[in-house]
């Protein structure tokens, strides 16, 4: 009877040992996985803010406007030069006529802040 119990206890102990080993093994695998996740979730550096300059380019010359930033009635941006170019009378993106002078001071400010932080 007592022997039986000790046998059972031994079995339980070895079971626990096996589980502990599996747990260690799993922990190692989790560590490996999180290292992989960390190294793969770090693609392009986005430090300067110049990366999003594509959104604030002139729709015609694809430059970041130097001076005034104009826009069509649909909000597409144009630099002052292209906007006042007599050969360009419609927005290249949405084809609305560029007969109303709409200036976008918010974008002008963003551009000047961007340039200040980039230099
Ligand atoms: Zn332009
Ligand atoms: Zn437009």
- Ligand 2 centroid vs 75 CA: distance in angstroms? 6
Of the bound ligands, which one is closest to the alpha carbon of residue 60? 1
The alpha carbon of 116 and the centre of ligand 1 are apart by a number of angstroms equal to 21
Domain ranges for the chain, please list them. 1-43, 50-118
CA of 83 to the centre of ligand 1 (A): 7
**Ligand number with the minimum distance to the CA of 71:** 2
- The pTM assigned to this predicted structure is 0.55
- The pLDDT confidence band at residue 99, using thresholds 50, 70 and 90, is very high
- Ligand 1 center to 62 CA (angstroms): 6
* Three-state secondary structure of 104-118: CHHHHHHHHHHHHHH
Distance, CA of 116 to CA of 47 (rounded, Å) = 14
- CATH number for the domain whose boundaries are 50-118: 3.30.40.10
| Nearest ligand to the C-alpha atom of residue 100 | 2
Residue 1 has pLDDT above 70, yes or no: no
Q: Which ligand is nearest to the CA of 88?
A: 1
pLDDT per residue over 78-93, tens digit each? Answer: 999 999 999 999 999 9
pLDDT confidence of residue 44 = 46
Which token pair is 102?
A: 């709409």
Report residue 26's pLDDT band, with 50, 70 and 90 as the boundaries: confident
| Average pLDDT for the chain | 83
Q: What is the pLDDT of residue 48?
A: 47
| pLDDT tens digit sequence for 46-70 | 444 455 566 789 999 999 998 999 9
């Amino acid at each position: 009877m007592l022997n039986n119990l000790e046998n059972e206890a031994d079995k339980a102990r070895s079971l626990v040992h096996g589980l502990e080993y599996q747990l260690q093994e799993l922990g190692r695998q989790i560590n490996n996985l999180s290292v992989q996740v960390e190294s793969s979730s770090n693609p392009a550096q986005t430090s300067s803010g110049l990366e999003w300059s594509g959104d604030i380019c002139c729709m015609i010359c694809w430059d970041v406007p130097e001076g005034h930033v104009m826009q069509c009635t649909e909000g597409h941006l144009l630099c002052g030069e292209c906007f006042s170019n007599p050969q360009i009378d419609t927005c290249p993106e949405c084809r609305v006529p560029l007969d109303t002078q709409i200036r976008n001071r918010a974008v002008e400010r963003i551009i000047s802040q961007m340039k200040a932080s980039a230099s």
